[in-house]
């Protein structure tokens, strides 16, 4: 996942062994602020500056990463 921190777009580079279906982003308080179908790039300019938890999931696995957004 790059760049981190980001100001507008996040790109994903994943191993072939994990193929996500959904993406969710939570603010640091745990509130869901984005939910959608996985795409290799994600526009995040609508989110405020701060620290978030990004979660990629499929039917069997989940991957999460802390991301920073700087405007």
Residue 51 tokens, joined:
């620290």
- Residues 33-62 pLDDT 10s: 999 999 999 999 999 999 999 999 999 999
Q: What are phi and psi of 58, to 5 degrees?
A: -135, -170
Q: What does pTM read for this prediction? A: 0.91
Q: Which ranges in 1-71 belong to alpha helices (H)?
A: none
Rounded CA gap, 7 and 29, in Å? Answer: 20
What the chain holds in terms of domains, given with CATH numbers, is 9-69 (2.60.40.10)
The Cα 42–Cα 11 span in angstroms is 6
pLDDT 10s digits, 18-38: 999 999 999 999 999 999 999
Other Cβ atoms less than 10 A from the Cβ of 56: the count is: 20
């Amino acid at each position: 996942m790059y760049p981190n921190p980001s100001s507008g777009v996040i790109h994903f580079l994943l191993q072939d062994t994990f193929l996500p279906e959904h993406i969710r982003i939570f603010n640091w308080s745990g509130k869901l602020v984005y939910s959608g179908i996985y795409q290799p790039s994600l526009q995040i300019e609508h989110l405020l500056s701060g620290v978030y938890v990004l979660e990629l999931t499929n039917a069997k696995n989940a991957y999460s990463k802390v991301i920073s957004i700087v405007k």
